[in-house]
Homo-oligomer: A and B are copies of this chain.
């Protein structure tokens, strides 16, 4: 029945019977839409733009995304969310020494500096987030994975004696992630990278110094 089938499941229903060619087209649409959205913002992108940019027709769009724009945006969101973490590798998974933390920090700065004002997820959160219930889940999942990766790094440093053992890794990683997100947000709105730098450096320095003074429960 199914020959070269690639089941790509997202929300509830699964897509079936995708030919190799079909899968390629589908991927091309997602990638093209993602690029277009990064460039112009979510609500500035019409389906027609995606068609033009990817060399596809309306029939194809609705063939691969029967629920239309919403489903496409969901796929794009997933695509972009995965990209965010991938872009931080292998640093993010190797926070095992202070130079390694520094390298990760540098990668983040470099990446967002290059990206500039084009943040796909902020837009997708704001706009897809309310419409599609699934987009919320995608972003939440990304944040959770991100924070957990940081927490793993902190715990590793603790086990090596480089971070005080009384630091709450979960709270510290939550704070650091918040600083990153806010830094990116401020980069988006003000165009300056200062906040991201300051948040990263000060929070990491605080971990280095003595970390979480448990003055609060």
Contacts and interface: CB of A to CB of B under 8 A. Distances in A.
A17 interface: no
Interface residues of A, number: 52
Interface in A179-209: 179-186, 188-191, 194-196, 198-199, 201-203, 205-206, 208-209
A174 B199 contact: yes
A136 interface: yes
A177 B172 contact: no
Given A122-B126, A171-B202, A209-B210, A196 B178 contact: yes
A42 B95 CA distance: 40
Nearest to A121: B189
A41 interface: yes
A83 interface: no
Contacts of A205: 212-213, 215-216
A72 to B, nearest CB: 17
A113 interface: no
Nearest to A130: B41
A140 interface: yes
Contact of A175 (B42, B122, B199, B215): B199
B189 A175 contact: no
Given A41-B130, A44-B130, A122-B126, A203 B175 contact: yes
B199 A179 contact: yes
Which 5 residue pairs of A and B lie closest in terms of their CB atoms, listed nearest first? A182-B182, A181-B182, A178-B182, A126-B126, A178-B199
